[in-house]
Chains A and B, each alone.
Chain A
């Protein structure tokens, strides 16, 4: 089999294998990403997560700190999770908006890391229709 003995094929096969190895190495070391959870799923978890929920009024703001509660975006869960966040607050942030922020649970309150609060505007492309 002349095909098999070609050194070029071997080199290519090796480079593909090397790339896969890099990939596996990375995913095993970095553990791959932050889990996305809803307020009702947070109970008992203390690892860092990305929390996605809807802001419940009232929102108390002082300077760059906001205290509010988050509920699930979908589903009828009654969980209202207290959240405290200090850092850059997006202009679109207000009660009723869907937001995501990264942080961890401390003594029953979710503490968001600075700069991770992101509002999910109704759409990037479509202006919000007030209903």
Chain B
């Protein structure tokens, strides 16, 4: 079996090489037959990668410990679900997952492109082939998942932190997001290589960007929830390099999703958009590099591995080659129109872009800071959460405000009087909310208060937009209000899906602000029978209980919880000792209040043999709103992504079925 896996990867490598080299030659010399065979090579590379993936999966499920990868990441006791998740639990497997998704996406892009953008494909295929080539090469020559050994009796097991249902979904989602950003990049480069000056590549890849961005966003939220329930330090995001690695491409993609609308509608920001696409893809590669190279040590402390220099080299080539390409094609990218007024829809989009990119770059600066200071001063200086939190407030709060302003402002040029009329109600509502919150005692955190006031403003402005649109539609159709509302969304899926996503970002902000600006923490050493208080809660420590789990010994401290004299139940923070892995993991206990979204979070910091407990308790208001935001985010993204026959017809009219621009 391992031979089959290795052979499949070599075949994949060959196909990618063909797609890149023969594809480029074919596109240059306009040989249509050869172009098509390069496209077919991309399709076949997916089949080859799928065969390799199946071989590894079978090895994992069958506990074939003669495969080094299987022996290193699973054990006989490991439940089946986690045995499968071990596929992406280690470096070689996750690279194979990258390759599988990459070839799968590329094949889909080729198949879809044959229908809608034939003329763009010729130069896109060699770019896709080049990226596939790199990953296939890594898997064949540098980091093979099919290395074999004399089979040991049992495997080393999976890192206990990874034994969590979230790990089944979180890494694949992030990979879907990272890899998904390859497709817009390839089409953008394809368009430049083909010397096209139209917007077709943006139209073709808009959904791809949206899909990648959705996966990346939701994947990060899953990761945050995993960190919250499983790592158990009472937080969900710590500005760790690994977390930043996923956040940076997401921010770049968010900026891109907004700025492409300007290019589609007004033909502006063309160079900027190409740069954003390059940046998003390079950051996705950089993210994978960060988590895999060991260049920056963090809490997670990465594997020091052999693939680091290769990745760095590849990122260097990608950035240098794409910038060079952009420079040679500058005349094609000149804007057709100019910004008419600093107070207009396109201007707010521009500010939003600047803020997002600035935030992304400050994060990048923070991540690279230890490397830069090491090089300049010979001493690595790390910047911690205060640095990032400062910029989150400095850039995040204006972004929040813009989210309320943008949708209400007119394209081209907005009059100040019109603005005053449109914003009167949302602004009044926001100020009222701010005042009420101040009375309620939210003034303990000024950024928190400002954040909440902005949140109220955005929500009011979104509601206002929905109400205005529904009323207009109702007046036109004279049907029911519900019908008018449904047809409003149905006819403008992108726009109203976008507003729903905005609402989810507001919910996210509400949850983040609530749980970080208004949280309470208490720590106490407790003997059995002793109590401690936090917020309105009283905690009474009963005793320690030991029990046997499926592959671990579980130690639990039983803590009775009551609020205002009313018993709420028993919480069981503790620790698990995993046998095969010989590791201990912290198991926090969380009690969520469904009414106000507040969590009581208990950590058994230390349990001594004499049952003395060091208990850490946190009250995190509104933290559950963050997880709700995730579902609203999916809903909004789903609305925006849903196929729109009307839009397809319009595009077909504009670009023709072959993808060449039809002049009308």
Contact = CB atoms under 8 A, between A and B. Distances in A.
Contacts of B658: none
Interface string A85-101: 00011011000001010
Nearest to B390: A26
Contact of A23 (B351, B362, B373, B612): B362
27 contacts: A6-B338, A6-B339, A7-B341, A7-B342, A8-B340, A9-B339, A15-B354, A30-B390, A33-B382, A33-B387, A35-B373, A37-B379, A63-B612, A91-B575, A91-B584, A121-B301, A123-B301, A123-B303, A124-B159, A124-B161, A125-B94, A125-B159, A125-B302, A126-B303, A127-B73, A127-B581, A128-B156
Contacts of A6: 338-339
A121 B299 CA distance: 8
B141 to A, nearest CB: 20
A9 B156 CA distance: 60
A59 interface: no
A126 B73 contact: yes
Nearest to A41: B379
A125 B301 contact: no
A11 interface: yes
B347 A8 contact: yes
Interface in B337-395: 338-342, 347, 350-351, 354-355, 358, 362, 369-370, 373, 379-384, 386-387, 390-391, 394-395
A11 B351 CA distance: 10
Contacts of B387: 26, 30, 32-33
A127 B381 contact: no
B614 A126 contact: no
Interface residues of A, dominant DSSP: mixed
B225 interface: no
Contact of B584 (A26, A52, A92): A92
B436 to A, nearest CB: 30
B351 to A, nearest CB: 7
A1 B336 CA distance: 17
Contacts of A127: 72-73, 156-159, 581
Interface in B312-342: 338-342
Given A6-B338, A126-B303, A127-B73, A91 B608 contact: no
A32 B605 contact: no
A36 interface: yes
Contacts of B302: 123-125
A130 B565 CA distance: 51
Contacts of B355: 19
B197 interface: no
A57 interface: no
B301 A35 contact: no
A32 B324 CA distance: 34
A29 B516 CA distance: 23
B6 interface: no
A19 B398 CA distance: 11
B616 interface: yes
A121 B586 CA distance: 14
Contacts of B373: 35
A63 B612 CA distance: 9
A23 B605 CA distance: 38
Given A23-B362, A89-B606, A36 B340 contact: no
A57 B90 CA distance: 31
A72 B202 CA distance: 52
A23 B300 CA distance: 28
Interface string A14-46: 011001001100100010111111000100000
B409 to A, nearest CB: 14
Interface in B523-577: 525, 575
Contacts of A12: 342, 350-351, 354
B379 A35 contact: yes
B89 interface: yes
Contacts of A35: 373, 379-381
A127 to B, nearest CB: 5
A91 B586 contact: yes
Contacts of A37: 379
B361 to A, nearest CB: 9
Nearest to A122: B301
Q: Which 8 A-B pairs have the closest CB atoms?
A: A120-B301, A91-B584, A124-B300, A8-B339, A33-B383, A11-B342, A36-B380, A123-B303
Given A92-B583, A118-B299, A126-B159, A34 B384 contact: yes
Interface string B288-318: 0001000001011111000000000000000
B383 A125 contact: no
Given A32-B387, A126-B303, A91 B354 contact: no
Given A125-B89, A127-B72, A34 B382 contact: yes
B382 A125 contact: no
A64 interface: yes
Contacts of A16: 354
A50 B382 contact: yes
Nearest to A20: B358
A106 interface: no
Contact of A129 (B72, B94, B616): B72
Contact of B341 (A3, A8, A120, A129): A8
B162 interface: yes
Contacts of A91: 575, 583-586
Contacts of B354: 12, 15-16, 19
A125 B90 CA distance: 5
A50 B383 CA distance: 11
